[in-house]
């Protein structure tokens, strides 16, 4: 009988191998087709009239996208098969595939026909008899695993048994990059992934419950299901740091989706890459919605009525700018409701008109001449005194200048923030020209809203682009000579002017994808926004994100218990209520796929001992409890080194993270790098090194095979007694946790 099962298994494996080989053949065929089509379009690209070129451009970019998608889905192209009660057989994979004559070969995992692969159970079989997992190695099928959803089939000797596809996926060594979970999405995750597009959906879940994975697969699902709408408007994914974005950036391309915009909180304002806000008090002060009023007052303070009348020279004449004139112009300009820089046009127009009037009357009485108003207006406009007075009263401002001056000039800050006391003002003040911090980003955004376009900058940009255009036309003139030959080659008539060529080059060089255009444009309205580690966001940061998606279509994932910043929310309701009231759906994920139970339980104990009221997710794996080494202060570095060495051996090619208090990252990083040259990375984008040294904040959202954690008490103290950072650090390992402590141990850890 055992032999029969083995024979059946071998037969089944052979069947699947043949099918999978055929799918890969089809994939290769499609790639070859698209490559040829793209080459043909490129060959003909430089010829024809403007419209033809635009069409060819569109084709080229379509073929490029499709080719990129076909290239990206090679790894585990197919992973499932559904056998229906009707005898239908359906393969499920990363994309949909069909034969040349449109016979379906494989269903896209996001299609409705594939949903049963994730959702069918023995109780609710959804018309499915058997679900088969295909576990691939390269392009070959390594193993099969069947879930029988029809009790009658349980006796069927042809049913295969193998290691669970899920456990196989979970036991893979970490690579420093997140991979997709498309082959093993669980039912509670799938329900969230396929939830409708509109509205705000919050996914709360403990560490390792797959929130990030779910958020990314949901983005891919929404792009598939609402392609037309979301392709144009785009999807924005916001994460806590650029190292986190680097960690997740390969997931969507592997799901066949490119062109999603990713941004950390530090990069949300185009043109500014903000540094961390080190002081929790300063961060706190900048985080509340009252800051929107502070920025609004700061802008209004820059619309000033002088205390006294000013005499201004216009050639040999004098005009007087009275407070009354300025006030009237200011009120009228404000009444337009336009942003500061745009309303300035109204202000300037009114003041110039009043002064022109004055000058006209003055000349009329002194010389009896009635002057042409347009000449007078020009004289007034050109006068240096007038220009200075106008700027003093209503200066055109960039958001960067406004925020820089707000925090570097005491009188601006005191006037704009009358509710703050002297110590708070002191905490906010800093030298002019200081780098912008993450907490400044929402203030810059607020300022940009209230200031509007800086016209001067617009003028400068236009002048620059005209200069560029002239240069490009000169180049094009020279290039034309060479072009004629290639135009003939593609059968074009060769009548192309230099400026057409310039246009064409500009169009191809700057053929921005929606994603690129969106990244550069602060006012871009996204179709959907995904926010990861959302528990960290301050009210002002939420305000920016709400502005980025006026339709308020959000997927928000996070864990309130992991909050590590001074400005984090205490509940989802607190975080979202100011923007959407009660109108958000809350889902919960309850299974921990990452951290072994023994480690997860220790982390929960520590969190509870620190007063955090949390429910622990159920862990899928057992594992060993953490091991704590108490050492003297002088032995700390040596002990960390020893632990890292032994962990490296134990995880055998996997990744070890050394999570240390923030101020010790450089010291420990350097000590390890010296002992283990070439193996150690520190900070952003070094997550694929075998050993990574980082702070708990930077470890947020990441995972490693083993973690060596230094001074848990210091991590606890890092956020003013909050346990979030320590809880995060303890829940990063997929296998092992080692703790080194010279200082005391937090409650809950002393039993190890
Ligand atoms: N259905 C699944 N199949 C396979 N692996 C999964 C599944 N769900 C989650 N995982 C894995 O579990 C790990 C944790 O997932 P993820 O990082 O998304 O969790 P998280 O909830 O965002 O964690 P944290 O809050 O700690 O950042 C990842 O390695 C992920 O690939």
CATH number at residue 568: 3.40.50.300
Instruction: With respect to residue 182, please indicate whether it lies within any of the assigned structural domains.
Output: no
- Strands 310-314, 235-239: pairing kind: unpaired
Instruction: With respect to residue 179, please indicate whether it lies within any of the assigned structural domains.
Output: no
The residue to mutate among 593, 599, 617, 731, having the most atoms of ligand 1 within 8 angstroms of its beta carbon, is 593
- What is the mean predicted confidence (pLDDT) over 671-692? 80
Say yes or no to pLDDT of 101 above 80. yes
Say yes or no to pLDDT of 565 above 80. no
Tokens of 531: 């926010």
Quote the domain boundaries for residue 485.
Answer: 462-507
Domain end among 566, 592, 618:
592
Q: For residue 192, how far is its CA from the centre of ligand 1 (angstroms)?
A: 14
Q: What are phi and psi of 554, to 5 degrees?
A: -130, 145
Q: Confidence band (pLDDT; 50, 70, 90) for 464?
A: low
Residue 582 sits in the same domain as residue 613: no
Say yes or no to pLDDT of 376 above 90. no
| 212 in a known ligand binding site | yes
Residue 484 sits in the same domain as residue 619: no
Ligand 1 atom closest to residue 731's alpha carbon, by position in its atom list: 26
pLDDT at residue 527, as a whole number: 92
Q: For residue 187, how far is its CA from the centre of ligand 1 (angstroms)?
A: 14
Ligand 1 atom closest to residue 180's alpha carbon, by position in its atom list: 31
Residue 497 sits in the same domain as residue 577: no
Neighbours of 151 (CB within 10 A): 9
Q: For residue 209, how far is its CA from the centre of ligand 1 (angstroms)?
A: 5
User: How many domains is the chain built from?
Assistant: 5
Q: Find all residues with CB under 8 Å of 3, minimum gap 6, and list them.
A: none
Instruction: With respect to residue 430, please indicate whether it lies within any of the assigned structural domains.
Output: no
Tokens of 304: 């000033």
Residue 35 sits in the same domain as residue 65: yes
| 280 in a known ligand binding site | no
Domain end among 542, 569, 592:
592
Residue 307 sits in the same domain as residue 448: yes
Q: What are phi and psi of 178, to 5 degrees?
A: -70, 140
Ligand 1 atom closest to residue 189's alpha carbon, by position in its atom list: 1
Say yes or no to pLDDT of 668 above 90. yes
Ligand 1 pocket check for 212: Cβ under 6 Å: yes
Instruction: With respect to residue 56, please indicate whether it lies within any of the assigned structural domains.
Output: yes
Residue 44 sits in the same domain as residue 108: yes
Residue with tokens 């000349």: 363
Ligand 1 pocket check for 594: Cβ under 6 Å: yes
Say yes or no to pLDDT of 45 above 70. no
- Percent above pLDDT 70 for the chain: 86
Instruction: With respect to residue 752, please indicate whether it lies within any of the assigned structural domains.
Output: no
Say yes or no to pLDDT of 2 above 60. no
Question: What ipTM does the predicted assembly reach?
Answer: 0.99
Greater model confidence, 688 or 510: 688
Ligand 1 pocket check for 185: Cβ under 6 Å: yes
Q: For residue 212, how far is its CA from the centre of ligand 1 (angstroms)?
A: 7
| 458 in a known ligand binding site | no
Instruction: With respect to residue 254, please indicate whether it lies within any of the assigned structural domains.
Output: yes
Residue 382 sits in the same domain as residue 503: no
Q: For residue 293, how far is its CA from the centre of ligand 1 (angstroms)?
A: 40
Residue nearest to atom 18 of ligand 1 (CA): 210
Residue nearest to atom 15 of ligand 1 (CA): 210
pLDDT at residue 486, as a whole number: 37
| 176 in a known ligand binding site | no
Altogether, the residues listed in the chain come to a count of 752
pLDDT at residue 156, as a whole number: 45
Q: Do the Cβ atoms of 728 and 696 come closer than 8 Å?
A: yes
Instruction: With respect to residue 663, please indicate whether it lies within any of the assigned structural domains.
Output: yes
Provide the b/e sequence for 569-596 (b: ≥16 CB within 10 Å). Answer: beebeebbeebeeeebeebebebbbbbb
The whole-angstrom distance between residue 61's C-alpha and the CA centroid of its chain comes to 24
Q: Find all residues with CB under 8 Å of 96, minimum gap 6, and list them.
A: 104, 106, 107, 108, 111
pLDDT at residue 255, as a whole number: 86
The whole-angstrom distance between residue 206's C-alpha and the CA centroid of its chain comes to 21
What one-character-per-residue DSSP string does 647-711 give? HHHHHTTS-EEEE--GGGHHHHHHHHHHHSTTTEEESTT-TTSSEEEE-HHHHTT--EEEEEEE-
Instruction: With respect to residue 514, please indicate whether it lies within any of the assigned structural domains.
Output: no
| 205 in a known ligand binding site | yes
Least confident of 21-30, 236-245, 625-634: 236-245
Cα gap 750→345, rounded to integer Å = 68
pLDDT at residue 231, as a whole number: 81
Residue 293 sits in the same domain as residue 442: yes
CA gyration radius for the chain?
Answer: 32
Cα gap 676→641, rounded to integer Å = 9
The residue to mutate among 212, 536, 595, 737, having the most atoms of ligand 1 within 8 angstroms of its beta carbon, is 212
Ligand 1 pocket check for 210: Cβ under 6 Å: yes
Residue 346 sits in the same domain as residue 476: no
Q: For residue 592, how far is its CA from the centre of ligand 1 (angstroms)?
A: 7
On the 0-12 / 13-18 / 19+ scale of CB atoms within 10 A, 500 is middle
pLDDT at residue 309, as a whole number: 94
Residue 254 sits in the same domain as residue 324: no
Q: Find all residues with CB under 8 Å of 681, minimum gap 6, and list them.
A: 687, 688, 689, 691, 692, 693
Residue 297 sits in the same domain as residue 443: yes
Q: Find all residues with CB under 8 Å of 594, minimum gap 6, and list them.
A: 170, 207, 208, 703, 731, 733, 734
Q: For residue 595, how far is its CA from the centre of ligand 1 (angstroms)?
A: 10
Least confident of 342-346, 476-480, 675-679: 476-480
Q: For residue 690, how far is its CA from the centre of ligand 1 (angstroms)?
A: 20
Q: For residue 615, how far is its CA from the centre of ligand 1 (angstroms)?
A: 18
Least confident of 46-60, 468-482, 549-563: 468-482
Beta bridge partners of 140: 137
Domain end among 577, 592, 607:
592
| 207 in a known ligand binding site | yes
Ligand 1 atom closest to residue 185's alpha carbon, by position in its atom list: 1
The pLDDT mean for the chain works out to 85
Least confident of 123-132, 201-210, 527-536, 735-744: 123-132
The residue to mutate among 117, 560, 563, 594, having the most atoms of ligand 1 within 8 angstroms of its beta carbon, is 594
Residue 492 sits in the same domain as residue 609: no
**By C-alpha distance, which of 266, 241, 240 is closest to 445?**
266
Tens-place pLDDT, residues 471-527:
554 444 444 444 333 333 333 333 333 344 344 334 434 445 667 777 778 888 899
Ligand 1 pocket check for 174: Cβ under 6 Å: no
């Amino acid at each position: 009988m055992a032999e029969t099962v083995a024979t059946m298994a071998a037969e089944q494996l052979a069947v699947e191998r043949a099918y999978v080989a055929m799918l890969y053949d089809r994939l290769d065929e499609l790639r070859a087709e698209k490559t040829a089509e793209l080459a043909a379009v490129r060959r003909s690209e430089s010829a024809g009239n403007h419209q033809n070129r635009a069409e060819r451009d569109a084709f080229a970019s379509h073929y490029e996208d499709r080719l990129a998608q076909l290239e990206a889905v090679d790894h585990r192209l197919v992973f499932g098969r559904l056998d229906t009660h009707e005898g239908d057989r359906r393969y499920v994979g990363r994309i949909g595939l069909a034969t040349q004559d449109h016979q379906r070969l494989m269903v896209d995992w996001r299609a409705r026909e594939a949903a049963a692969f994730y959702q069918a159970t023995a109780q609710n079989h959804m018309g499915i008899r058997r679900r088969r997992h295909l576990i691939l190695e390269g392009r070959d099928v390594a193993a099969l695993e069947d879930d029988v959803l029809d009790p009658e089939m349980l006796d069927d000797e042809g049913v295969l048994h193998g290691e669970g596809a899920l456990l196989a996926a979970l036991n893979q060594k970490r690579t420093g990059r997140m991979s997709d979970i498309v082959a093993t999405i669980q039912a509670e995750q799938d329900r969230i992934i396929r939830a409708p597009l509109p509205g705000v959906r919050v996914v709360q879940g403990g560490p390792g419950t797959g929130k990030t994975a779910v958020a990314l697969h949901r983005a891919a699902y929404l792009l598939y299901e609402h392609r037309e709408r979301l392709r144009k408007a785009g999807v924005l994914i916001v994460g806590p740091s650029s190292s986190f974005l680097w960690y997740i950036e390969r997931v969507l391309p592997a799901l066949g989706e490119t062109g999603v915009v990713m941004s950390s909180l530090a990069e949300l304002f185009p043109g500014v890459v903000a540094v961390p806000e080190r002081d929790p008090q300063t961060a706190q002060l900048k985080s509340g919605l009252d800051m929107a009023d502070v920025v609004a007052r700061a802008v209004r303070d820059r619309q000033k009525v002088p205390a006294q009348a000013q005499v201004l020279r216009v050639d040999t004449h004098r005009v007087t700018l009275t407070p009354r004139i300025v006030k009237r112009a200011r009120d009228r300009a404000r009444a337009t409701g336009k942003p500061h820089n745009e309303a300035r046009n109204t202000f300037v127009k009114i003041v110039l008109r009043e002064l022109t009037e004055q000058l006209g009357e003055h000349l009329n009485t002194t010389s009896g001449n009635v002057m042409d108003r347009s000449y007078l207006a020009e004289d007034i406009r050109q006068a240096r005194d007038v220009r200075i007075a106008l700027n003093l009263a209503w200066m055109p401002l960039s958001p960067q200048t406004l925020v820089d001056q707000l925090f570097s000039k005491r009188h601006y800050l005191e006037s704009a923030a009358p509710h703050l006391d002297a110590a708070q003002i002191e905490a906010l003040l800093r030298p002019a020209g200081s780098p912008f911090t993450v907490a400044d980003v929402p203030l810059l955004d607020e300022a940009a809203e209230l200031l509007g376009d800086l016209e001067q900058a617009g003028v400068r940009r236009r002048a620059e682009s005209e200069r560029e255009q002239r240069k490009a036309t000169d180049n094009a003139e020279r290039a034309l000579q060479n072009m004629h030959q290639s135009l003939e080659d593609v059968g074009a008539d060769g009548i192309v002017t230099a400026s057409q060529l310039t246009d064409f080059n500009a169009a191809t060089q700057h053929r921005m994808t929606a994603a690129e255009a969106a990244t550069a444009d602060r006012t871009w309205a996204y179709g959907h926004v995904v926010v990861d580690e959302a528990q960290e966001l301050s009210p002002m940061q939420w305000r920016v994100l709400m502005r980025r998606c006026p339709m308020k279509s959000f997927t928000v994932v996070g864990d309130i218990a992991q909050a590590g910043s001074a400005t984090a929310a205490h509940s989802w309701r607190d975080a979202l209520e100011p923007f959407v009231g009660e109108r958000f759906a809350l889902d919960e994920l309850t299974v921990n796929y990452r951290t072994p139970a023994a480690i997860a339980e220790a982390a929960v104990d520590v969190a509870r001992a620190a007063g955090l009221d949390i429910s622990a997710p159920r862990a899928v794996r057992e594992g060993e409890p953490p091991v704590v080494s108490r050492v003297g202060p002088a032995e700390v570095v040596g002990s960390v080194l020893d632990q890292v060495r032994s962990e490296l051996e134990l995880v055998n090619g996997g990744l070890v993270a050394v999570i240390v208090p923030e101020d010790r990252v450089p010291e420990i990083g350097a000590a390890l790098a010296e002992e283990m040259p070439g193996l150690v990375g520190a900070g952003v984008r070094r997550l694929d090194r075998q050993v990574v040294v980082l702070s708990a904040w930077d470890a947020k959202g990441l995972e490693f095979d083993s973690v060596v954690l230094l001074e848990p008490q210091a991590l606890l103290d890092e956020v003013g007694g909050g346990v979030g950072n320590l809880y995060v650090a303890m829940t990063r390992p997929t296998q092992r946790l080692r703790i080194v402590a010279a200082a005391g141990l937090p409650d809950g850890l002393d039993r190890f």
